[in-house]
Amino acid sequence: MLDADFFRRWLTATAVAVDREADRLTELDSPIGDADHGSNLRRGFTAVATVLEKEEPGTPGAVLALAGRQLISTVGGASGPLYGTLLRRTGKALGEAAEVDTAGFAEALRTGVDAVAALGGAAPGDKTMLDALYPGLDALTESFGAAEAAALDGALATTPLRARKGRASYLGERSVGHQDPGATSSALLFAALAEAARGGGAPEDGTREDGHGG
Ligand code: ADP
Ligand code: MG
């Protein structure tokens, strides 16, 4: 069963991964965007890790709702409201349960991913974060490791696509040949999920520098 601590470790591991990969995410956002995806998400997930350590919400739903609100309020740019919506809507779907099993989480996460698609008006194949989110989600009932691999494959498969949504779509045909930054960060979210499932992502794994865990 997945409890509030598991979801805190997921988002803490995401913050560490985003911090580590921020330069690469921004580089991917240079040719087909405005070179801010890494700095956007670093700001957002650092704030998420900080607020989760401070407030320690007690249920999975409350952890995700708080994290989503924090992303929306700290990240300018398309990805803030989109990832914020993903977490908020997933959290809302989990309700007030103290624990959830993997199947229940996958069902709630589908609500969240569908909300991202509705908010952004995008569909799979449009060269957005959805191209990693849906494959990861679809593989989640198999295992966390399978979801990590499927999301990464989905991100890599955005390279030959032509962008139909977001800033990259302004480039039309010239968006072809570049990996989508948002799909790449979505793959990091699934990698962090697999890490949390292996027991990683505790605050002392990287976000705190004073040696005191949460
Ligand atoms: P901005 O484009 O405002 O600079 P970011 O650079 O932080 O925001 O995020 C860009 C990423 O957001 C893209 O790579 C893409 O994956 C995702 N994205 C942009 N628009 C949409 C949309 N309408 N639906 C889904 N994802 C989107
Ligand atoms: Mg950008």
> pLDDT per residue over 25-80, tens digit each?
999 999 999 999 999 999 999 999 999 999 999 999 999 999 999 999 999 889 99
What SS3 state is found at 157? Answer: coil
Query: For atom 11 of ligand 1, which residue has the closest CA?
Result: 182
Q: Which CATH code is given to the segment(s) 2-197?
A: 1.25.40.340
CA distance 14 to 190: 9
Ligand 2 centre to CA of 39 (Å) is 9
Phi first, then psi: give them for residue 99, nearest 5 degrees: -145, 155
Q: How far is the CA of 56 from the centre of ligand 2 (A)?
A: 31
The residue to mutate among 79, 126, 185, having the most atoms of ligand 1 within 8 angstroms of its beta carbon, is 79
* pLDDT recorded at residue 209: 47
Instruction: Say what the pLDDT of residue 214 is.
Output: 36
Please tell me the predicted confidence (pLDDT) of residue 211.
42
- Tokens of residue 93, six digits: 């779907």
pLDDT given at position 76: 85
pLDDT of residue 108: 98
Q: What is the position in ligand 1's atom list of the atom closest to the CA of 75?
A: 7
Query: What SS3 state is found at 99?
Result: strand
Q: Which ligand 1 atom lies nearest to the CA of residue 40?
A: 7
φ, ψ of residue 137 in degrees (nearest 5)? -60, -45
User: Ligand 1 pocket: which of 24, 85, 89, 128 to mutate (most atoms <8 Å of CB)?
Assistant: 128
Residue type at 34 in one-letter notation: D
Average pLDDT, the chain: 95
d(CA 29, CA 27): 5
Q: Residues with beta carbon inside 6 Å of ligand 1?
A: 29, 33-34, 36-37, 40, 77-79, 82, 120-122, 128-130, 165-167, 180-183
Phi and psi of 182, rounded to 5°? -65, -40
The tokens describing 167, both together, are 């800033």
Ligand number, closest to the Cα atom of 41:
1
Query: Kind and range of the H or E element at 2?
Result: strand 2-3
Which segments in the chain show pLDDT lower than 70?
203-214
Can you give the pLDDT at residue 204? 62
Query: Quick one: pLDDT at residue 200?
Result: 87
Give me the pLDDT at residue 120, please.
Answer: 98
Nearest CA to ligand 1 atom 23: 120
Which of 163, 194, 166, 164 lies closest to 178 in space, CA to CA? 163
